[in-house]
Structure 1
């Protein structure tokens, strides 16, 4: 049986994920303790199976929001509750079965070894991954790296990450943004601006077909407009921070330059 961590938990936001939600939660619980699920105003009824699971499993906690507020809003709700309970870090994991639960221990170990760092999963796509999604994320990755002067964000959109809770919650409380699909990219950029180190770990990702229970709430036009607006906002913040970011980049490159000489 997995020993319960007092510092690191798995946090799974879910909105109308369907029957695969229970499978995702079981896999996460087999890999880690504790696991919290934030039901973000779901109406499909599949979250009810988690009530019986949570009643019989002290390592599983279910949080509910009355209305759908978006991924970032659900994670913020869970992270604030985690901070109040004494946790310091949370691994965010999608409920739709794309993220591999067997990678949770390695991600948590990387975080425990470097607690100030943001541990980023970098997706390794299979042949089933939609080409439009694989190519499209390159645009967001370019802008996120520009906005941080290439501080080490391996992938700006992949949501399988271990976050230090205190700095992320502080950033989210300062803004009304970062509540929906813009959460993943903006969280990485803003934590980089705070000076948090980035640790990148390759992680296989699986896109499930509809007949396998796959579900997506991604809307190409709507969500790309949201990302575009987010990067326009971040660019203004980038320009204000440019001198500081440039000094940090110079400091990162200086040891390498000395070694080469």
Structure 2
């Protein structure tokens, strides 16, 4: 186990993640201290397994929400409690084993060296990645880069990233969106609008098949409708902010 950090922590929002969650949390704990898990109203028994794990590990904290609120809401609960205890940055990762725990120290080091930035994972897909998911994200990435005047978002959907807490908390408390699947792309766009610079780092992503214990809550029609509505809202916000964004780009290009 690593020495505890008083500024940076790992945050894992979790909803019915399947049997891989314990391996995911143990892998994160092997790389970093502390690790917090927000159980977002899970009904699969994972909360009980994680509680047993946390009971013997002071570097692991569990927050259990009584009902499912969505990924963004779970993240907001975790970062709000952490900020109240003095933490300044959170590395978010999924609970289903898709994200590379081995890269946690590298991403944290990048954040510690440049604390004003957000460190964004740029996914490196293996041969088993679903083509529909790999190609479909290009649409969201295109919109996100347009809405920020190409500030440098390498991937808008990949949730393995380090956020500075205070600007993210201000943004989330200032609007009623960003509470469900739309959290990851909207967070990076709004943080860019707020002047938080993106830094991209490559990180592999692994998709587990159902027979390997993989659990996916992605619903193609439902979630793409949600993303379309989100980018419609963001585009209107982009048009409103366009003069200020253009001035910022001009001032930074000199």
The two structures have a TM-score, normalised by structure 1, of 0.96
Shift of 1:8: 0.3
Q: Does 1:192 align with 2:192?
A: yes
Is contact 2:122–2:155 with CA below 8 Å preserved after alignment? yes
1:125-164, aligned counterparts within 5 Å? Answer: 125-164=125-164
Q: CA RMSD in A?
A: 0.7
1:96-135, aligned counterparts within 5 Å? Answer: 96-135=96-135
Is contact 1:35–1:60 with CA below 8 Å preserved after alignment? yes
Equivalent-residue separation in structure 2 for 1:106 and 1:248 (angstroms): 30
Equivalent-residue separation in structure 1 for 2:252 and 2:143 (angstroms): 20
Is contact 1:21–1:47 with CA below 8 Å preserved after alignment? no
Shift of 1:5: 0.2
1:4-153, aligned counterparts within 5 Å? Answer: 4-153=4-153
1:258 is matched with which residue? none
Equivalent-residue separation in structure 1 for 2:169 and 2:39 (angstroms): 19
Equivalent-residue separation in structure 2 for 1:19 and 1:128 (angstroms): 20
Is contact 1:91–1:162 with CA below 8 Å preserved after alignment? yes
Shift of 1:144: 0.3
Equivalent-residue separation in structure 1 for 2:84 and 2:55 (angstroms): 22
1:251 is matched with which residue? 251
Shift of 1:192: 0.2
1:174 is matched with which residue? 174
The two structures have a TM-score, normalised by structure 2, of 0.99
Q: Secondary structure at the match of 1:158?
A: coil
Q: Secondary structure at the match of 2:39?
A: strand
Q: Secondary structure at the match of 2:229?
A: helix
Shift of 1:92: 0.4
Q: Does 1:231 align with 2:226?
A: no
Is contact 2:47–2:64 with CA below 8 Å preserved after alignment? no
Shift of 1:47: 2.3
Equivalent-residue separation in structure 2 for 1:116 and 1:29 (angstroms): 25
* 1:106-138: CA deviation from partner (whole Å, max 9, x where unpaired): 000000001010100000000000000000000
Equivalent-residue separation in structure 2 for 1:17 and 1:150 (angstroms): 34
Uncovered stretches (5+) of structure 1, i.e. residues with no partner: 255-261
1:257 is matched with which residue? none
Shift of 1:71: 0.4
